[in-house]
Chain A
Amino acid sequence: MADTGLVETLLRRVEKVDGGVDSQDVATSLGVDHQAIVGAVKSLQALGDVISAEQRSSKHWELTGEGCEIAEQGSHEARVVSSIPEEGMPQSQLMKLAFGKVGFSKAMSNKWIRLDKGHEGGPRIFKTVESLEDLVRDKLLLVQKGQASQLEEKEKNELKKRKLLSEVTVKSYWITKGSCFSTTITKQETELTPEMIASGSWKEKKFKPYNFEAMGVAPDCGHLHPLMKVRTQFRQIFLEMGFTEMPTNNFIESSFWNFDSLFQPQQHPARDQHDTFFLSDPAQAHEFPQDYLERVRKVHSEGGFGSQGYKYDWKIEEAQKNILRTHTTAVSARMLYKLAQQEKFTPVKYFSIDRVFRNETLDATHLAEFHQIEGVVADYGLTLGDLMGILHQFFNKLGITKLRFKPAYNPYTEPSMEVFSYHEGLKKWVELGNSGVFRPEMLLPMGLPEGVTVIAWGLSLERPTMIKYGINNIRELVGHKVNLQMVYDSPVCRLDS
C-alpha cells in the first residue's frame, strides 16, 4: 500500500477538479516523484472503482544539461562577447575558455566580434557590438518554463541539433473519479465471513478482487480407472441392447470348455504351450457332463451332426488339462450348454467383458492378460445378415458407422468375419474385432435344437480404450506401472462422441 497520506492528498485533488488530473501535473505541483503518484494510483485501483485511471503518454521538450547551463549563464556566443574587454583579447586566450570554441564561431557568424589576424603579438579578437540579444538563451528559458509551444518547430529542431533540447516521452495517468469515488479509504476484505453475513457488514465492506486467471484447487477426490470407465460404457451398451451378463468369474478353465466344446481340435496351435498358460496345480479338471463329453469326443474323432469331423484320436487327458482361459467364449460354451439343458429353448442374448490370458510375446500393445468383450445371440433362424445388422447397431453406439466385413477363419465359427471400420484419422480400414456363426459341431452336441443359430462377436477392451485416451504403451494403462496422474486426469468416457 502506498503512503496513505499521499493517497488521500491525491483523492482530494481529484475531488476538486471536474475533468480529471494528470499524474505528472500532480507530481509536479506536489513536488514529489512521479513514481510515488503512480504507486498511489495502483493501490487505489486495487480497491475497486474508487478512481478510474487511464494511462496516456505525452511528448514534451526538455533542456539537456548543456541547455540548462545556457539558460542559466547565457549562450556560448553571448558569453564570448561579454568576456572580451574593450581592448580585445588574444585568440589563444579566448580558446582556453570552456565556451571558447563554440562561442567563437557562433559570435563570428553573428558578426558580434572581429578577428585581427595581423595584430602584433598574435591574432586578437575585438567585440563589434556593445549590447546583444541572446536569443538562444531566451528560447531555452521559454522551454524551461514549460512554454515550448511558443517556439516554432524549426527553432526547436535547431536547438535539438545543437544538443540543447531533447524530446522526451512521459507516461502518466489521467485520473478521474470512479463510480465509487470517495476521499476516505476503507481496508479491503479478502473473504466473506459468517460474521459479515450475520451483521450485514458485508454491505459496507470492500472486497479484494479475485484473480480469475489462476487455476482452482483440485478437489480432494478419488478417481475411476479409465479402462474400467470404458468397460462401464460397453456394459451399458449391451444392457441397452437387451443383453444379459454372463458369469465370467472363473479365470481357470478346463481345456474341454475352452477348446473341445468349441470344436477346436486337440492339435490346434492355440493349444500349444507357446500360446496358452497351463496349470500345474490344480492341473486337471474333473466332472464333465459325461454324455455331452462323449458327443464332443465323437464329433471330433468321427464326425456326426452332418460333419466329417477331424478324424483324429481324441483324448480325454487333453480335455482335462486346466488352463487360464484364452477367451471368454469358454463361458459362452458353458452358458449355451446350460441353455440346451432347458426343457424348452428360449432365445437369449448374452454378453461379457472380462479377463482372458495368452502366453504370448509381449510388446507395447500386447500383455499376457487383457479384457475380452463378447456378445452372443441364440435364436431360431438367425442369419449372417442378422449378425452384420447387430454389429452395425453395436458399433453405431460407439460412434462407428462405416463397417465392412472380411471372410476369416476361426475353428468354432463358420462363417467367420473380421470386422473393419474406416478410420477417418488414419484414412484406412482398421480391424475392430471378430465375429461369426457358431458351428453346428459345437452347438448340436450340446443339445441345442437343429434350427437354432448362434451368432457371436468379440473384441478387446484395451484397444478402443488406448485409441480413446491416446495411449501408445499398454503398460501405462493396465497393471501396476500405471501413471496415476493419467488416472487422475482422465475425462469421463462417452464412446459416441
Chain B
Amino acid sequence: MPTVSVKRDLLFHALGRTYTDEEFDELCFEFGLELDEITSEKDIISREQGDTKAEGASDVILYKIDVPANRYDLLCLEGLVRGLQVFKQKMEAPRYRRVSPARGEPQRLVITEETAAVRPHAVAAVLRNITFTLERYDSFIELQEKLHQNVCRKRTLVAIGTHDLDTISGPFTYTAKPPGDIRFKPLNQAKEYTAQELMSLYKTDSHLRHYLHIIEDKPVYPVIYDSNGIVLSMPPIINGDHSKITLNTKNVFIECTATDLTKAKIVLDMMVTMFCEYCEEPFTVEEAEVVYPDGRTCRYPELAYRKETLSADFINRKVGISESTEHIAQLLTKMCLRSEVMSDGEQIEVEIPPTRSDVIHACDIMEDAAMAYGFNNIPRTTPRTYTVANQLPLNKLSELLRQDLAAAGFTEALTFALCSQEDIADKLLKNISETRACHISNPKTAEFQVARTTLLSGLLKTVAANRKMPLPLRLFEISDVVLKDGTKDVGARNNRRLCAVYYNKSPGFEVIHGLMDRVMQLLEVKPGQGDGYHIQAADDSTFFPGRCAEIFACGKSIGRLGVLHPDVINRFELTMPCSALDIDIEPFL
C-alpha cells in the first residue's frame, strides 16, 4: 500500500478547514484511507539517523496517509484534496479537457522502430503556462516518484520524464541506440557521459542502481532527442540536465515511455490531471502528437471519459440497501463519478473520469456507492444459505490421531514446511537426489531452499532447541510434506505424515515400536501379514544399521521406524540416542 506524506497545515489549508488528528483519522477511515503516522521531517531524521543529524530539520507536521494500491489519483496532495473535497461535497469534480495549442501545431514525438527491441511505447503531453511554487514543485516531483514505484512497477512498465519545454525544441525523436553512441550530460552532473559510463556511474547510486537492470543487458538503450540533438532523457534511467524543470519553468513537456501502453496512458493522465489545476487555464492540458514507426499518429493525453449505465436496483441488491435512484446517483457523484438518473428513473448513467482508472467494472461503481453510503451504515444481515458442513476426511483423521498421540504421552511439535537441503539430505545421511524434493528458486536464505520431504528433521531440530528439558523427550507431528509427483498438474503433491521421536539415555526402540502398535490399534489394523500390519528389517542410511524396520500395513509399505544413526544424532547437535517413527497416514483414509 503506497504511503503519501503531506504537510498537515498545507492539507488543511487546501481543505478549507482544520481537523483534529482524530477527526482526520475518522475521515480517512470512511474514505478507505489510513492515517498511518503523524510525524515531521525532524522526527524521521532523528529516528533514522539520530538526534544530532536532525538538528535544524523542519518540524512541520507531516501526515503519512496509506492509499489503496489502485488509487493513483490519491498519490499527491492535489489529488487527495480533490477526492476529499468532492467526497465532502465542498466542490464538484473538475472536468479535464485536452486542448490544441493556441498557436501552431502540437508538439510531436516521433517513435523509431529501434525502440521495439527495448521499450516500444511512448506518450506525451504539455502543461502550458503552469505556475510552480516550491510546494507544488516538490509535489510534482514526488508524484512522479510515487507513480514510478507503484503503477510503473519500479519503472519497468512506465518511466516518466518531465522537461522545461522552453529549453528544447520539437519535434522530438524517441529512438534506441547502442549505449556507446549515447552521450549527454545527465541530470545534476557536471559533465557528459556515454550511456556505458552512466551505467557504471550509477552502479553505486542508492536510488538509480535499482533501475539499471531494466535495460542493462539490452543491445540498444532508449533515448529521446530534441530537433537539435539534445538528449531529453534516457528512459527509464535518467533525464538530461539540459531540459530539467525549475521553479521558474512555465511550460512542461511530459513524456512517458513504456513496455505497457495502457499503463503509460494512465500514468500520463495522472500526471497531467493532478497538476493542470496550476495552469493559466486550469484543468486544461495541451495535446501532443505521437508518431509511430508505421506512420500512424495518436494525440495524447487521452483524458477519456467513459460512460457506464447501471440500475439503482443492481447497487441496492449488491450492497444490501434500498436507496432511491437519485440518492445513489448523489452517492456516486461524491466519489468523483458524476452520475445522472436517466429518464426511466431507474437507470443511472455514470461517467468515469480519466483519474479513475481503477473503475473497470460495474462492481467498482457499486463499491464506490457503498463507500459513499458508509460501510458501517449498511444493515448487517444473515444470508439464508443452507448448507451441511463436512470435514475433509484427511483432516478429520489427523485431528483424531493428534488427540490420541497426545494421550499416548507424546507432545505435539509444529515445524516449518520449508527448510534447507541439508536438513532433509546431508543431516539425515541421504542424497538430495533421492528425496523427491521440490526446490525453491529464489530463497533469501538457506532456510527456504526446499519444501520438506520428511517431518523428522523438524522434530530433531525441536529436540535440539529443547535439550535443557527433562528427559525423555517424546515429540510428534502430523502434517504435510511435499513430494514431486509427475501425475499432478503442478508436478508435486502434499503427503500427510505422522512422525514421532523418542529421545532419552537409551534408544527406546520398544517405546517407538509401542507407539506404532498403538497407532495401528487406533486405525483398527491388527498385527499380521496380509490385511494386518507387520514390520521387517530394512536398510536405511538415516538409521543405525540393524536397528531399522519397514512398516507394512494392508500389504503396502507405509513408513519406517528405528534407532537413528549416531551421525544423524551428531549432525542435529544432539547427544543422546533417539528412536523415530515416520509413516504415511493417507492409506488409512
Residues of chain A having any CB pair with chain B under 8 Å: 220-225, 227-228, 232, 235, 238-247, 249-254, 267, 269, 273, 277-288, 303, 305-313, 322, 324, 347-349, 355, 357, 359, 367-369, 377, 379, 381-386, 388-390, 392-393, 404-409, 411, 414-417, 437, 439-441, 453, 455, 477-485, 487-488
Listed A/B pairs (30) with beta-carbon separation below 8 Å? A221-B409, A223-B411, A225-B412, A225-B413, A242-B387, A242-B388, A245-B395, A252-B491, A267-B157, A282-B492, A285-B490, A286-B489, A303-B360, A306-B361, A307-B360, A308-B360, A377-B385, A385-B378, A385-B380, A389-B382, A390-B383, A406-B375, A409-B1, A409-B69, A415-B366, A439-B363, A440-B361, A478-B414, A479-B416, A485-B469
Which listed residue (B260, B379, B418) contacts A312, Cβ 8 A? B260
Residues of A near B440 (CB, < 8 A) are: 277-280, 324
The B254-290 residues at the A interface (CB cut-off 8 A) are 260, 262-263
CB contact list, B2-44 vs A, under 8 A: 29, 31-32, 34
Chain B residues with Cβ under 8 A from A367's Cβ? 416
B414 touches A225 (CB 8 A): yes
Q: Which of B262, B306, B385, B496: most chain A CB closer than 10 A? A: B385
Which residue from chain B places its CB closest to the CB of A277 in the assembled complex? B440
Inter-chain contacts of B378 with A (CB < 8 A) = 384-385, 388
| Nearest CB of A to B278, in Å | 28
**A339-B442 Cα distance, complex, nearest whole Å:** 34
Q: Which residue in chain A gives the minimum CB-CB distance to B462?
A: A480
Question: Contacting B418 at CB < 8 Å: which of A220, A357, A407?
Answer: A357
- On chain A, the residues within 8 Å of B414 by CB distance are 225, 227-228, 477-479, 482
Chain B 375-403 interface 0/1 with A at a Cβ cutoff of 8 Å (1 = within): 11011111101111111101100010011
The answer to whether A251 and B451 touch (CB under 8 A), given A228-B414, A242-B387, A381-B317, is yes
- Cβ–Cβ contact B496 & A222, under 8 A: no
One digit per residue, 1 when the CB lies within 8 angstroms of any chain A CB and 0 when it does not, for chain B 485-522 equals 00011111110100000000000000000000000000
Taking CB atoms, residues of chain B closer than 8 Å to A303 are 360
Cα separation A377 to B387 with both chains bound (whole Å)? 10
Q: How many angstroms between the C-alpha atoms of A407 and B371 in the bound complex?
A: 7
In the complex, identify which listed stretch (B91-99, B318-326, B547-555) lies at the interface while the others stay far away.
Answer: B318-326
With A267-B157, A267-B260, A286-B491 given, can you name 9 additional A-B contacts, CB distance below 8 Å? A252-B482, A278-B440, A306-B361, A347-B385, A381-B317, A385-B319, A385-B379, A409-B32, A409-B69
Query: Given A379-B385, A480-B465: A415 and B492 within 8 A (CB)?
Result: no
CB atoms of A383 and B318 under 8 A apart: yes
A271–B417 CA distance with the chains assembled, in angstroms = 21
Residues of B within 8 A of A487 (CB): 411-412
* A383-B320 contact in complex given A307-B361, A409-B71, A483-B466, C-beta closer than 8 Å: yes
- At the interface, yes or no: B408 with Cβ under 8 Å from chain A? yes
* Bound: A286/B492 CA distance, A: 11
Q: How far is the CB of A318 from chain B (nearest CB, A)?
A: 13
Residues of B in contact, count (CB < 8 Å): 98
Shortest CB–CB separation between residue B136 and chain A, in angstroms?
A: 28
Q: Are B490 and A389 in contact (CB under 8 A)?
A: no
B441 within 8 A of A: yes
**Whole-angstrom distance from the CB of B389 to the nearest CB of chain A?**
5
Q: Which residues of A contact B441 (CB under 8 A)?
A: 278-280, 283
User: What CA separation (Å) do A267 and B403 show in the bound complex?
Assistant: 45
**B386/A251 in contact, CB under 8 A:** no
A241 CB contacts on chain B under 8 angstroms = 389
User: Does B438 reach chain A (CB closer than 8 Å)?
Assistant: yes
Q: Is B484 an interface residue (CB 8 A)?
A: yes
- Whether B451 and A228, one on each chain, are in contact in the complex, defined by CB atoms closer than 8 angstroms, is no
Question: B300 at the A/B interface (Cβ < 8 Å)?
Answer: no
Instruction: For the complex formed, measure the closest distance between the CB of B88 and the CB atoms of chain A, giving whole angstroms.
Output: 16
**Residues in A neighbouring B260, C-beta threshold 8 A:** 267, 312-313
- Which residue of the partner chain, among A227, A240, A244, A249, contacts B390 with CB atoms under 8 Å? A244
- B318 lies within 8 A of A453 (CB): yes
B386 surroundings in chain A (CB, below 8 A): 242, 347
Query: Between A and B, how many residue pairs show CB distances below 8 Å?
Result: 286
Query: How far does the alpha carbon of A469 sit from the alpha carbon of B376 in the complex, in Å?
Result: 31
B347-382 interface (Cβ within 8 A of A)? 358, 360-364, 366-367, 370-371, 375-376, 378-382
Given contacts A238-B389, A384-B378, A407-B367, contact A277 B443 (CB under 8 A): yes
Q: Which residues of A contact B317 (CB under 8 A)?
A: 381, 383
Tell me, rounded to whole Å, the shortest Cβ–Cβ distance linking A331 to chain B.
11
Determine if B387 and A415 form an interchain contact, defined as CB atoms under 8 angstroms apart. Answer: no
Closest 3 A-B residue pairs measured CB to CB? A385-B320, A383-B320, A282-B491
CB-CB under 8 A for A222 and B474, given A324-B440, A348-B387, A389-B383: yes
- Tell me if B307 is interfacial: C-beta within 8 Å of chain A: no
* A359 to B408 alpha-carbon distance, docked (Å): 37
Of the candidates A228, A254, A359, A405, the one whose C-beta lies within 8 Å of that of B442 is A359
* Partner among A379, A415, A480 whose Cβ is within 8 Å of the Cβ of B416: A480
- Please determine whether B381 and A389 come into contact, CB atoms closer than 8 angstroms: yes
Per-residue A-contact encoding for B100-116, CB less than 8 Å = 1, 0 else: 00000000000000000
A-contact bits for B454-485, CB 8 A (1 contact / 0 none): 00001101101110010001101000101010
Most buried by B among A239, A252, A273, A483: A252
Contact partner of A480 among B70, B399, B461, CB < 8 A? B461
- CB nearest to B383 among chain A residues: A386
In the bound complex, what is the Cα–Cα distance between A349 and B386 (angstroms)?
Answer: 9
Which parts of B151-189 form the interface with A (CB within 8 Å)? 153, 156-157
Task: Kindly provide the distance from the CB of B121 to the nearest chain A CB, expressed in whole angstroms.
Answer: 11
Cβ-defined contact, B380 with A389, below 8 A: yes
Contact between B402 and A228 (Cβ–Cβ < 8 Å)? yes
Partner of B262, one of A254, A310, A393, A440: A310
Assess whether B494 is in contact with A249, with CB atoms less than 8 Å apart.
yes
With contacts A279-B440, A288-B489, A406-B29 taken as known, whether A221 is within 8 angstroms of B363 at the C-beta atoms is: no
A83 to B444, CA, bound (A): 109
Q: Which residue of B has the minimal Cβ distance to A438?
A: B363
Q: Is the CB of B490 within 8 A of A282?
A: yes
Q: Which of B32, B389, B447, B484 interacts with A244 by CB under 8 Å?
A: B389
Is B557 interfacial (CB-CB < 8 Å)? no
List the B side residues contacting A246 at CB < 8 Å: 392
Residue from A228, A246, A253 having most chain B Cβ neighbours under 10 A: A228
CA gap between A383 and B384 in the complex, in Å: 11
The answer to whether A384 and B406 have CB atoms under 8 Å apart is no
- Residues in A with CB closer than 8 Å to B410 are 222
| B381 contacts A224, C-beta separation under 8 Å | no
Complex interface: chain A residues within 8 A of B494 (CB): 249-251
Contact across chains for A385 and B31 when beta carbons are under 8 A apart: no
The one of B153, B318, B387 in contact with A347, judged by C-beta atoms closer than 8 angstroms, is B387
Closest to B67 in A: A409
| Chain A CB within 8 A of B129 CB | no
B137 surroundings in chain A (CB, below 8 A):
none
Q: Which residues of B contact A388 (CB under 8 A)?
A: 375, 378, 380-381
Chain B residues, Cβ within 8 Å of A355: 417, 480
Q: Are B480 and A251 in contact (CB under 8 A)?
A: yes
Partner of B319, one of A224, A384, A483, A485: A384
Given the complex of chains A and B, what is the CA–CA distance between A228 and B411 in angstroms? 12
* Bound-complex Cα distance A221 to B319 (A): 52
Known A-B contacts A252-B438, A385-B320, A386-B320; the reply to A480 vs B406 at CB < 8 A is: no
CB neighbours (8 Å) of B443 from chain A are 277, 359
With A285-B490, A308-B361, A479-B414 known as contacts, the answer to whether A484 contacts B32 (CB < 8 A) is: no
Interface assignment of B415: CB less than 8 Å from any CB of chain A: yes
Cβ-closest chain A residue relative to B483: A252
B345 within 8 A of A: no
Tell whether B448 is near chain A: CB-to-CB under 8 Å.
yes
Which residues does chain B contribute within 8 Å of A223, judged by CB atoms? 406, 411-412
Q: In whole angstroms, how far apart are the Cα atoms of A393 and B375 in the complex?
A: 17
CA–CA, A253 and B461, complex, Å: 27
Docked pose: A288 CA to B370 CA in angstroms: 36
Q: How far is the CB of B204 from chain A (nearest CB, A)?
A: 21
A245 neighbours in B (Cβ, 8 Å): 389-392, 395
